[in-house]
């Protein structure tokens, strides 16, 4: 997807980004170029990334199918089982590559790096000339090989993560869902029995949960709305190209992508209620700039949780973060965005089929309402790891696993979190990356070029160091951070050839 930028915010302040050096200076004061030649180049680079991704997934799917046939109705002995084929398990796999341990990654979908592969959006973390936010310790290549831009597209980051998993040679069992985890005692040691929906049983000495932020969900507490949200989320799975009355940001982005791939234009409703004020909500607004999206006359966004009434207030709120400015500010300038401070208290379906949302601003003790034709819910994710582990851990709690992180100059920091019974036995079950919550302390982020505690920059190094520490093997050398110059962009054929040579 190519976002068509607006030049209307030419007077935006040339402030320093929290990512250094700033894209404002590198791109002449704009996060995204908007001239035709640059847009064509961006589109070409995205198509090349998709070619790499298609090659990698074809290879990994073939391996997965072979293993499924081999494992069917068997008990498989493992040393390390990683759950979730995303950046954290890719980082762990790169460490496991150098061991002789029996290791496997299990993924319930048909995609490695699904969060990035199935949607159209730009990544928040910067890939600048002198700083990389996405290289993996012990990894292969660079995200800069996929893009010449400051902000990479989700398809490019997906291909980069898939490349790391592929070169690790740790196989991924795709379309395999874990349905239960049990613990057994064997020779004075706890072994985990992990059951899948395919009838395969794994017996593993260690279980790593790299499941990210969790499953798509809603934090709106209205019970009726929660039921409707779940209904439309299920409906989306069989109607991926349809805009539904209630959609998560993820579903909304997937729908727009499906229509773009089919070369179909999308006409959004006249009034959208957007719930949430995190990155997801901003990405949803960005998506409206796509050339395949048609906005009706009088289009409005009632943005719940957004406290900013004007473009000036919004820019000031970003504290120098240039990532969203030229995609969101034009909507403010055209009077399309109405900020509605507070949290959702109630959602009603009107006789017309429209929605009325009651919002309470507890800080100012103000109750307001917004009406719209469609709801895009960006309130976040639900971590289901506790539910998955109910048979293994009756009263679970997470305890910090600490260790050094040399590349950030930390002699001791939280690397992961371990499950244990409250006040009792520690289990060989570890949450890594965002699945463990925010591992980096605010004081540790002060001098980090990326302030987001769950960004790849601040998580994959921790996961890599943790797995090395857990297994007692040498830590991998980091290839991230400062560099003398940005690696040049490569074609899909060049990247695939380099991967085949591993």
Q: Which residue has the higher pLDDT, 246 or 124?
A: 246
Which helix (H) or strand (E) element contains residue 274?
strand 271-275
Q: How far is CA 500 from CA 48, 142, 414, in A?
A: 16, 16, 36
- What are the backbone angles phi and psi of residue 312, rounded to the nearest 5°? -65, -45
Give the whole-angstrom CA distance, residue 346 versus residue 356.
Answer: 8
Centre a 10 Å sphere on the Cβ of residue 2 and count the other Cβ atoms it contains. 18
Q: What is the mean pLDDT of residues 254-281?
A: 92
Q: Is it true that the peptide bond before 94 is cis, omega within 30 degrees of 0?
A: no
Give the whole-angstrom CA distance, residue 418 versus residue 190.
Answer: 14
Residue 241: pLDDT over 50: yes
Give the whole-angstrom CA distance, residue 12 versus residue 390.
Answer: 52
Tokens matching residue 162: 């898939």
Q: Which residue has the higher pLDDT, 49 or 27?
A: 49
Q: Are 49 and 57 in contact (CB under 8 A)?
A: no
118-122, 261-265, 321-325, 397-401, range with the lowest pLDDT: 321-325
What domains can you pick out in the chain, each with its CATH number?
41-214+383-500 (3.50.50.60), 219-380 (3.50.50.60)
Give the whole-angstrom CA distance, residue 290 versus residue 121.
Answer: 10
pLDDT at 2: 31
pLDDT at 408: 75
pLDDT at 201: 96
Which of 293, 286, 288, 246 has the alpha carbon at shortest distance from 265? 293
88-102, 137-151, 168-182, 437-451, range with the lowest pLDDT: 437-451
pLDDT at 309: 85
Q: Give the up-direction half-sphere exposure of residue 313: CA atoms within 13 A in the CB hemisphere.
A: 9
Residue 69: pLDDT over 60: yes
Q: State the DSSP code for 129.
A: S
CA angle 162, 168, 181 (to 5 degrees): 85
pLDDT confidence bin for 319, thresholds 50/70/90:
low
Helix axes 87-96, 154-168, angle to 10 degrees: 20
pLDDT in tens, 77-92: 999 999 999 999 999 9
pLDDT at 25: 43
Q: Where are the alpha helices (DSSP H) in 97-135?
A: 114-117
Tokens matching residue 38: 């640059």
Which of 59, 46, 71 has the alpha carbon at shortest distance from 167? 59
Q: What is the mean pLDDT of residues 284-303?
A: 93
**What pTM value is reported for the model?**
0.88
Q: What is the mean pLDDT of residues 6-11?
A: 31
Give the whole-angstrom CA distance, residue 337 versus residue 502.
Answer: 50
Residue 111: pLDDT over 90: yes
Q: Could you tell me which residues come within 8 angstroms of residue 228 by beta carbon, excluding any fewer than 6 positions away?
A: 245, 246, 347, 349
Residue 283: pLDDT over 70: yes
pLDDT confidence bin for 6, thresholds 50/70/90:
very low
Give the whole-angstrom CA distance, residue 421 versus residue 489.
Answer: 49
Helices (H) and strands (E) in the chain, counts: 14, 23
Report percent pLDDT > 90 for the chain.
Answer: 66
Q: Are β-strands 293-294 and 266-267 bridged in parallel, bridged antiparallel, or unpaired?
A: parallel
Give the whole-angstrom CA distance, residue 318 versus residue 367.
Answer: 26
pLDDT at 387: 79
Residue 7: pLDDT over 50: no
- What are the backbone angles phi and psi of residue 501, rounded to the nearest 5°? -80, -5
Q: What is the mean pLDDT of residues 196-200?
A: 92
pLDDT confidence bin for 30, thresholds 50/70/90:
low
Q: Are 192 and 185 in contact (CB under 8 A)?
A: no
Give the whole-angstrom CA distance, residue 116 versus residue 46.
Answer: 13
Which helix (H) or strand (E) element contains residue 396?
strand 396-405
pLDDT in tens, 441-479: 988 888 777 788 888 988 999 999 999 999 999 999 876
Alpha carbon 272 to chain centroid, angstroms:
24
Centre a 10 Å sphere on the Cβ of residue 254 and count the other Cβ atoms it contains. 19
Give the whole-angstrom CA distance, residue 274 versus residue 270.
Answer: 13
pLDDT at 17: 32
Q: Are 229 and 240 in contact (CB under 8 A)?
A: no
pLDDT at 317: 79
Report percent pLDDT > 70 for the chain.
Answer: 92
């Amino acid at each position: 997807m190519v976002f068509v930028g607006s030049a209307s915010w030419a007077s935006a302040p040339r402030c320093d980004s929290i990512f250094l050096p700033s894209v404002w200076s590198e791109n002449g004061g704009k996060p995204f170029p908007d001239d035709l030649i640059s847009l064509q180049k961006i589109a070409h680079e995205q198509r090349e990334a998709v070619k790499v991704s298609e090659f990698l997934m074809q290879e990994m799917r073939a391996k997965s199918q072979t293993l499924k046939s081999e494992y069917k109705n068997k008990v498989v002995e493992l040393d390390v089982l990683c759950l979730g084929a995303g950046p954290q398990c890719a980082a762990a796999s790169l460490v496991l590559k150098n061991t002789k341990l029996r290791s496997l990654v299990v993924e319930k979908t048909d995609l490695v790096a699904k969060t990035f592969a199935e949607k159209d959006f730009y990544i928040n973390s910067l890939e600048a000339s002198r700083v990389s936010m996405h290289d993996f310790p012990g990894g292969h290549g660079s995200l800069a090989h996929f893009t010449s831009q400051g902000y990479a597209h989700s398809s490019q980051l997906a291909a980069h993560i898939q490349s790391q998993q592929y070169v690790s040679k740790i196989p991924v069992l795709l379309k395999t869902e874990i349905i239960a985890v049990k613990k057994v005692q064997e020779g004075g040691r706890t072994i985990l029995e992990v059951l899948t929906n395919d009838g395969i049983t794994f017996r593993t000495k260690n279980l790593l949960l790299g499941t990210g932020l969790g499953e798509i969900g809603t934090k709106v507490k209205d019970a009726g709305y929660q039921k409707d949200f779940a209904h439309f989320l299920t409906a989306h799975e069989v109607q991926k190209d349809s805009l539904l009355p209630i959609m998560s940001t993820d579903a909304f982005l997937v729908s727009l992508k499906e229509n773009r791939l089919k070369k179909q234009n999308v006409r959004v409703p006249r009034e959208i209620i957007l719930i949430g004020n995190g990155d997801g909500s901003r990405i949803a607004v960005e998506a409206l700039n796509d050339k395949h999206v048609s906005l009706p006359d009088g289009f409005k966004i009632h943005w719940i949780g957004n406290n900013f009434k004007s473009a000036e207030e919004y820019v000031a709120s970003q504290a120098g973060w240039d990532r969203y400015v030229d995609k969101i500010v034009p909507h403010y300038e055209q009077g399309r965005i109405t900020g509605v401070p507070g949290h959702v208290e109630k959602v009603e379906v009107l006789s017309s089929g429209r929605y009325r949302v009651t919002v309470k601003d507890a800080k100012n003790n103000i109750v307001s309402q917004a009406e719209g034709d469609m709801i895009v819910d960006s309130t976040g994710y639900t971590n289901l790891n506790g539910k998955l582990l109910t048979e293994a851990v009756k009263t679970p709690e997470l305890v910090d696993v600490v260790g050094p992180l040399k590349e950030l100059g930390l002699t001791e920091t939280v690397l992961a979190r371990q499950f244990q019974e409250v006040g009792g036995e520690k289990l060989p079950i570890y949450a890594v990356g965002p699945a463990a919550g925010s591992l980096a302390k605010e004081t540790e982020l002060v001098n980090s070029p990326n302030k987001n505690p769950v960004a790849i920059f601040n998580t994959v190094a921790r996961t890599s160091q943790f797995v090395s520490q857990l297994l007692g093997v040498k830590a991998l050398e980091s290839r991230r951070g400062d560099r003398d110059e940005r690696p040049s962009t490569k074609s899909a054929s060049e990247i695939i050839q380099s991967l085949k040579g591993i």
